[in-house]
Amino acid sequence: MNNNLRKNAPRTQGNLKNSYNRIDHKRTDTLVYALGGLGEVGKNMYCFEHENEILIVDSGVRFPEDNLLGVDYVIPDYSHLVKNKAKKKVLIITHGHEDHIGGIPFLLKSVAITDIYAPRFAISLINKKLEERKMLRTVRIHEINSTSSVKMEHFTCGFFNTVHSIPDSLGILINTPNGRVVHTGDFKFDLTPVGTNADYQIMAYIGQVGVTMLMSDSTNSGVEDFSISEKKVASEIFDIMRKTKSRLIVATFASNVHRVAQILEAAVKCGRKVIIFGRSMENVVTIGSKLGTIKVGEQHFITPDQLNHIPANKVCIVCTGSQGEPLAALSRIASGTHRYIKLIPGDTVVFSSSPIPGNGASVNQVVNKLFRAGADVLTKSVLTNLHTTGHASQEEQKLMLQLIKPQYFMPIHGEYKMLKQHMETAMEVGIPAENIFTCANGDVLIMRGGKVFPSATRIQADDIYVDGNDISGVSTAVLKDRNILANNGLVAVIIAIDSKENRILCKPVIVSRGFVFIKDSQGLIKEAEQLVYNALKEKMAQRTTFSELKNTVRGTLEPFLYHKTHRNPIVIPVILNSKKAMEQMQNAHAHHNDTSVKTSHSSMDSAHHSSRKSTEKEQL
């Protein structure tokens, strides 16, 4: 993993008392740390380590920001777990969202996990994920629920039901040799929930027995009051479904299984046939139907070829794309590029979601396209309850703190601002500031005899950027080059030399991609070629190396191009050491005055072909 891009998370400190007084841990201590999920929303991964065992809670991914070009996933750095390969490791999953299960295939490739314990719905999603990668036989997967118990040598875990936007969501009670920890997982308190209710009595009982430390979801720490009940959203969607006389298109998160189930049930009640678009949505509906979470029979679904043969007011289209993702179904519908659906003026499009921070511009772009096509668009506002969150807001966080009554508190699952706001909420309910730890990924807390201390040591917990399914990570240089290519383009300089005679055979040929249009920049290209030619002739008047020649090309061309264009393209020197290459270079020069991008590309390809057949000697 030496080539991985390791982006160090900023060190965050809860308060002055905790940022000092750090201690070294002993063999009998229990260590608590996060490899992901702190200072960010995503890639949740929390570890509990005691002597020869490591208990891991969740293994998620984070989806990359726009500046991470070509990166598919961001995963935690597993090097600490790899280094401790002699310790037995068990993974427990709280629920089936990608930021909690998406990293499992990458983790299993790097670390020997003996057993995974997960709730029912999460197991179906994990099995599908591992089956696609032919990894199903690499680990034992056990189903757990609120009555289950997981026993290791040093850890014993019990569970309690929580309410979230996906079925079978669990909180965990972890008994360690040095105290008891409650990990809430993702939760909210909904007094009229869809699906299983939260285990209030069990949480209160756990609080009465005594809890050393609470680790609690911080995502909505900045939101006041209680969140809206999922049943209110269901009622609003049903009213819209009933009143709408046109074709209805509903976009929501595929991961919000309860919402998807309610949309489908409302459609059936209103006599509408349902069609699903979007791979993730199709997967969730298939799994939900199989497990009984989605109770709509097959007779209510239609296929794409039936779509145009059913009256518009008898159709409900459920699709992905509520966040404006370019390749999602709704974005393609809005752009008119969807294979099966063409918007009809009067269509009603419902966004049963709120834009995730950073996605607002993409969502607005899709909404504008929908309006332009003649659709009526309904989004969440103060007048409509079309969406509610799956995460606890401030009053719900206070209720969790009051039920569990921990001695110590560690806010988790959130950006630093969210962790800090959760810390302030905890102080409001009476937890002393010195007993609250707002940590960064890699910070270690020590549990010793029922007390918690910050550790003097820190674990490596950087971001690893994954391109495709390759977990070796994308190097810093690669990402930097991708950004330069995106902003400034590429200039290749093809040079033919004769190493035996120590001379350059002809003027270089410069090929540009994404920098300037060659036809409109003949003067600039010719001047650049002459400049490089003169510099190389001067350099080759004495003995030199290929490396020095390439540095000469870059050192000459980069300042010249910046002076002329105020742009810094990537400059790639291609040195060809053969007579045949010289002939092709001369041929390229003969046609250079009317060179098109396509012709230049052909010359470059031919030159590369010749270079593969020639042999380079490092010392000329």
- What pLDDT shows up at residue 20? 46
When pLDDT is cut at 50, 70 and 90, the band that residue 598 belongs to is very low
> Across residues 150-159, what is the average pLDDT?
97
Higher pLDDT, 174 or 505: 174
Is a pLDDT exceeding 90 seen at residue 614? no
Catalytic residues: 217, 391
475 or 489, which is more confident: 489
Q: Tokens 């910046």 label which residue?
A: 562
Taking only the tens place, the pLDDT of each residue in 131-140 is 988 888 889 9
CB contact at 8 A, 101 and 61: no
Q: Give the residue among 96, 184, 69 at the shortest CA–CA distance from 422.
A: 184
Q: How far is CA 275 from CA 85, 151, 340, 412, in A?
A: 48, 44, 11, 38
Mean pLDDT of the chain: 86
Q: Tokens 């999460």, residue?
A: 122
DSSP, residue by residue, 546-600:
HHHHHHHHHHHHHHHHHHHHS--PEEEEEEE-SHHHHHHHHHHHHTGGG--HHHH
pLDDT higher than 50, residue 257: yes
pLDDT tens digits for range 96-114? 999 999 999 999 999 999 8
Per-residue model confidence as pLDDT tens digits over 525-584? 888 889 988 888 888 888 888 888 888 888 889 889 888 888 888 888 988 886 665 566
Q: How far apart are CA 129 and CA 370, in angstroms?
A: 33
Share of the chain above pLDDT 70, in %: 86
Query: For residue 570, what are the contacts with CB-CB under 8 A and spacing of at least 6?
Result: 481, 484, 485, 488, 489, 490, 491
Helices and strands (H, E) in the chain, number of each type: 18, 25
Which helix H or strand E contains 80, and what residues bound it?
helix 79-83
Residue 602, pLDDT score = 39
Overall average pLDDT of the 590-594 stretch: 51
Q: What are phi and psi of 347, to 5 degrees?
A: -55, 145
Q: What is the pLDDT of residue 470?
A: 61
Kindly state the tokens that stand for 252: 């929501």
Amino acid at 295: K
Pure H helices in 188-306: 200-209, 230-243, 257-269, 279-291
Which of 3-7, 130-134, 233-237, 252-256 comes out lowest in average pLDDT? 3-7
